[in-house]
Amino acid sequence: MRVHICAVGRLRPGPEKLLIDDYANRFDKTGRGLSLGPVSVVEVDERKGGGMAGEAALLRRAIPEGAVVCALDERGTIEGSPDFAHRVTGWRDDGARDLAFVIGGADGIDPTLRAEADHLLSFGKMVWPHMLVRVMLAEQLYRAATILAGGPYHRT
């Protein structure tokens, strides 16, 4: 199952990009044997105008047709890493070819796009900068793959 991180905004070279690239590469290597990956980051340019509705239109175009859509949103479900790992494999086992994680811009995700998502996921009650959410998501994807592979990375 291919994994897509569809996000508003362009990530500039720097520590966040290095972390995302590192975790994505780790995920690709670990997930390959689990039929997970590769992971790709698709960025949409929020400067095109239109506010949240305009961002939602750009995000919809970035999501592969038929993909399971998981939106990162403060109103979503807070899950532990093992539960997240099993949710991802559940989607894979149900036959999903693509899984798209959607990360909105500074104002969040347009309510209509949020309502269309198959699942809402939260990284806690605190609001995180959307660039850091990308890093945390990439790390959790790698962690999920190591949990499923029985690797030592995740410790309880």
Task: Give the residue with greater pLDDT, 107 vs 36.
Answer: 36
- Length of the chain in residues, anyone? 156
Task: Give residue 153's pLDDT.
Answer: 87
**Average pLDDT of the residues in 36-41:** 96
Superfamily of domain 2-149: SPOUT methyltransferase, trefoil knot domain (3.40.1280.10)
Question: Nearest-5° angle of CA 97, CA 102, CA 106?
Answer: 170
Domain ranges of the chain: 2-149
The string of pLDDT tens digits covering residues 108-124 is 999 999 999 999 999 99
Distances (CA, A) of 118 to 4, 24, 50, 136, 148: 15, 23, 24, 20, 22
pTM of the model: 0.94
Beta bridge partners of residue 40, listed in sequence order? 4
Task: Give residue 130's pLDDT.
Answer: 85
